[in-house]
């Protein structure tokens, strides 16, 4: 029995998500794209475009079509082993590391939640991004512990007509996770904080140690839910100060450009964003 147990334990350990490789850094940070930036295209095209923009990591979302040749197939946690293998091959070809999956609902269906974590384990993805059913956090926490995969709560903007929506508030997110497993935290969408009229640097300070992923946006207006993306460094989000705070905290990323403007022609602007991250350096003390 002992002879059998050790190989099984080693196999289980090898199945957990590996650390992000240093080769996935863009300047000081692990950085790339949320595939939703390329929602007008397919998963295979999103991987190619992430590489073309200078990204090294990618975060998938659940509803993207697979490829120009297979637009009837969707890539997500229900995908077949053959589709998963094809996506892995494309990632290897383009030198892109998959690190996140979401935004996806967790907490209301334990069997569905397990499928999500199993998919991430298979893909080598270490972060599930969600806006969860908070009544299901105990079950999510159990999966986080079992799979050694982080859960990061995403924030959309404040909804004036829906006071029950509270994920926009970083204090609310912190209160949900602060007494739970340290692998439960935040996916900091800095652009949605700006749309909510919040200072993203202050939000990041509040959530220090609990940020596992960040959707990066530089917007043209502060406090306007309809504000749109601009290349980093040209809007009101103060991306340089955000990067400085992340660096001060010792947070290496991942940072994911989520560019939701000029959908079909945004690649040059996304490339500008990643060039900004690549060229950013901390101020000498």
Res 237 pLDDT > 60 = yes
Mean pLDDT of 104-129: 98
Q: For the CA atoms of 211, 42, 192, 102, what is the dihedral angle to 10 degrees?
A: -40
Contact 50, 32 (CB under 8 A): yes
Res 234 pLDDT > 60 = yes
Contact 215, 131 (CB under 8 A): no
Contact 32, 26 (CB under 8 A): yes
Every domain of the chain and the residues it spans: 24-279
Confidence band of 18 (pLDDT split at 50, 70, 90): low
Structure pTM? 0.92
Write out the two tokens for 107. 């907490």
Write the pLDDT tens digit of every residue in 263-276.
Answer: 999 999 999 999 99
Res 81 pLDDT > 90 = yes
Confidence band of 5 (pLDDT split at 50, 70, 90): very low
Nearest to 231 by CA among 188, 203, 262: 262
Phi-psi region of 196 (alpha: psi -120 to 50; beta: other; left: phi over 0): alpha
Give the C-alpha separation, 15 to 6, whole Å: 14
Out of 3.10.20.30, 3.20.20.150, 3.40.50.1000, 3.30.1380.10, which CATH number does the structure's domain 24-279 have?
3.20.20.150
Confidence band of 15 (pLDDT split at 50, 70, 90): very low
- Mapping DSSP onto H, E and C, the string for 248-275 reads HHCCCCCEEECCCCCCCCCHHHHHHHHH
């Amino acid at each position: 029995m002992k002879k059998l147990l050790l190989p099984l334990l080693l196999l289980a350990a090898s199945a957990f998500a590996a650390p992000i490789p240093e080769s996935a850094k863009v300047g000081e940070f692990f950085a790339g794209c949320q595939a939703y930036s390329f929602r007008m295209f397919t998963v295979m095209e999103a991987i190619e475009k992430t590489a073309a923009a200078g990204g090294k990591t990618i975060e998938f979302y659940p509803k993207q079509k697979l490829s120009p040749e297979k637009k009837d197939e969707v890539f997500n946690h229900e995908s077949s082993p053959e589709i998963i293998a094809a996506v892995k091959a494309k990632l290897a070809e383009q030198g892109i590391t998959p690190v996140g999956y979401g935004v996806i609902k967790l907490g209301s269906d334990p069997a569905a939640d397990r499928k999500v974590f199993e998919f991430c384990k298979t893909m080598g993805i270490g972060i599930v991004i969600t806006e969860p059913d908070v009544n299901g956090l105990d079950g999510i926490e159990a999966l986080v512990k079992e799979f050694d995969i982080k859960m990061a709560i995403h924030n959309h903007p404040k909804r004036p007509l829906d006071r029950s929506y509270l994920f926009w508030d970083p204090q609310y997110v912190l209160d949900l996770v602060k007494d739970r497993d340290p692998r439960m935290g935040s996916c900091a969408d800095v652009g949605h904080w700006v749309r909510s009229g919040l200072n993203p640097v202050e939000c990041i300070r509040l959530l220090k140690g609990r940020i596992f992923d960040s959707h990066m946006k530089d917007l043209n207006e502060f406090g306007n839910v309809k504000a749109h993306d601009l290349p980093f460094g040209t809007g009101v989000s103060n991306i340089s100060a955000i990067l400085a705070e992340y660096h001060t905290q010792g947070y290496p990323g991942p940072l994911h450009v989520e560019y939701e403007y000029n959908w079909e022609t945004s690649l040059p602007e996304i490339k500008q964003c990643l060039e900004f991250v690549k060229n950013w350096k901390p101020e000498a003390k």
